[in-house]
């Protein structure tokens, strides 16, 4: 069998459930999955594709917008230990020079990570979750739905658009489709290979669907920082609930979205067209009473209260629930998850994000796919994580 250049002795095996059929199987892999075999002795363990987090502002005390290269690499490793095997460092609305500085930092971190991939196995283990590029959330957003963003929004044309199109690491951009020039900008981003998501928006339903028609493929943290659903003008939320090529992303923390709305999204869009993203900020994974500056601005301090990161006035600043914690909150919860099993969650946390980003090499446990894999026990405790076939210590 093919081994992607590895010796047979370097192949690994994970055994457990790969789907909801009740049958245990054994996955054989090097850097990619090389075989999936029937297993006659049943196991309660679950093998899932590693999570792909499309929106990480920070975690474990590290804020992406003020981070060094070393900080981002440490964050990659920390995320991998939580079952996230690929991620997008997320930058919000800021002066264009700040966005460009963050882009240069992320590019350098990606280079260092690629170099580590060519290093001996022990060094490779420490490189953590793969950095896929930047998620730029802004600056082309609505002044009516800033959320945690500062009032520095721009229109998507002219110099601002040219400079954002020139970013080296841009992989996903969130913008408001109703802005002047937005449809033309979407076409340009898509032509450059950037995935466009709609969010922080006051768009009507028609305006949002027009953006999908020209290439937008996602809605960012649905319901949050956007025109609310109304029965006579469904708005951008109505567009997100309408079957289309664009997937609806939600934050699975029970704070950013009510269980009833989660159920509504799943009923309208199915699991395959619903995504989860953590929207984690630097407070994720730190002591509960901590207070930290956020989004590269020392004057904007945030604390965890009532299950999320909040500004002093109580406004939401982001999430603190990791993708793995989202799995535990969601799966088998009759209210929030509606009986969703781990495999359904993996569709939202791995397969769907891979599809949105156009990544055919990961997001599923299947022959030829990258061996980005996690092993969970019956209680959904993490037992092992593999990134590109290398186990994370």
For residue 3, the model assigns a pLDDT of 34
Place of tokens 């003008």: 233
pTM of the model as a whole: 0.95
Structural contact between residues 27 and 14, judged by C-beta atoms closer than 8 angstroms: yes
Torsion angle defined by CA atoms of residues 70, 71, 74 and 76, in that order, rounded to the nearest 10 degrees? -110
For residue 5, the model assigns a pLDDT of 39
For residue 123, the model assigns a pLDDT of 61
For residue 260, the model assigns a pLDDT of 87
Structural contact between residues 137 and 220, judged by C-beta atoms closer than 8 angstroms: yes
Structural contact between residues 80 and 87, judged by C-beta atoms closer than 8 angstroms: no
For residue 194, the model assigns a pLDDT of 98
| DSSP assignment of 231-266 | SS--HHHHHHTS-SSSEEEE--SSSSS-HHHHHHHH
Active site residue 361: no
The neighbouring-strand residues paired with 103 are none
In this structure, what DSSP letter does residue 349 have?
A: I
Dist. CA 379–CA 46, nearest whole Å: 10
- Type and span of the H or E element at 209: helix 205-213
Dist. CA 70–CA 5, nearest whole Å: 30
User: For the chain, give me the number of helices (H) and strands (E)?
Assistant: 11, 22
In this structure, what DSSP letter does residue 347 have?
A: I
Structural contact between residues 269 and 243, judged by C-beta atoms closer than 8 angstroms: yes
For residue 147, the model assigns a pLDDT of 93
**pLDDT tens by residue, the chain, 393 residues:** 233 334 444 789 999 999 999 899 999 999 999 999 998 878 899 999 999 999 999 999 999 999 999 999 999 999 999 999 999 999 999 999 999 999 999 999 999 999 988 876 656 656 799 999 999 999 999 999 999 999 999 999 999 999 999 999 999 999 999 999 999 999 999 999 999 999 999 999 999 999 999 999 999 999 999 999 999 999 999 999 999 999 999 999 989 999 889 888 988 998 779 999 999 999 999 877 788 888 988 888 899 988 889 998 889 899 999 999 999 998 877 777 777 899 999 999 999 999 999 999 999 999 999 999 999 999 999 999 999 999 998
- Active-site option among 279, 341, 361, 388: 279
Nearest to 365 by CA among 25, 7, 121, 5: 25
For residue 121, the model assigns a pLDDT of 63
Q: Which fold has domain 50-362?
A: TIM Barrel (3.20.20)
């Amino acid at each position: 069998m093919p081994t992607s250049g590895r010796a047979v002795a370097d192949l690994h095996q994970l055994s457990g459930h790969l789907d909801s059929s009740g049958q245990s199987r054994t996955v054989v892999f090097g850097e990619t999955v090389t075989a999936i075999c029937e297993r006659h002795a049943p196991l309660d363990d679950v093998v899932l594709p590693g999570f792909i987090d499309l929106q990480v502002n920070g975690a474990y005390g590290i804020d992406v917008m003020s981070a060094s290269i070393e900080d981002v690499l440490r964050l990659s490793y920390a995320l991998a230990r939580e079952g996230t095997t690929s991620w997008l460092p997320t930058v919000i609305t800021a002066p264009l020079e700040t966005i460009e500085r963050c882009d240069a930092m992320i590019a350098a971190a990606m280079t260092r990570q690629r170099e580590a991939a060519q290093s001996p196995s022990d060094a490779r283990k420490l490189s953590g979750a793969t950095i896929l590029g930047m998620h730029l959330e802004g600056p082309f957003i609505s002044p009516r739905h800033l959320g945690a963003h500062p009032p520095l929004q721009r229109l998507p044309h002219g110099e601002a658009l040219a400079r954002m199109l020139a970013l080296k690491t841009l992989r996903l951009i969130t913008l408001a489709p109703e802005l002047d020039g937005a449809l033309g900008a979407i076409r340009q981003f898509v032509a450059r290979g950037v995935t466009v998501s709609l969010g922080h928006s006051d768009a009507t339903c028609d305006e949002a669907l027009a953006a999908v028609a020209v290439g937008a493929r996602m809605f960012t943290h649905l319901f949050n920082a956007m025109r609310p659903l109304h029965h006579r003008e469904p708005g951008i939320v109505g567009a997100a609930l309408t079957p289309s090529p664009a997937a609806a992303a939600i934050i699975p923390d029970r704070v950013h979205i009510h269980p009833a709305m989660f159920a509504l999204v799943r009923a309208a869009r199915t699991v395959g067209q619903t995504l989860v993203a953590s929207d984690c900020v630097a407070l994720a994974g730190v002591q509960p009473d901590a207070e930290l500056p956020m989004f590269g601005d020392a004057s904007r301090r945030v604390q965890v209260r009532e299950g999320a990161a909040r500004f002093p006035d109580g406004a939401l600043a982001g999430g603190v629930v990791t993708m793995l914690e989202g799995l535990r909150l969601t799966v088998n919860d009759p209210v929030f998850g509606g009986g969703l099993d781990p495999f359904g969650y993996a569709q939202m946390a791995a397969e769907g994000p891979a599809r949105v980003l156009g990544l055919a090499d990961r997001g599923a446990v299947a022959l030829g796919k990258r061996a980005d894999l996690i092993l969970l026990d019956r209680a959904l405790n993490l037992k092992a994580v593999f990134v590109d076939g290398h186990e994370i210590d």
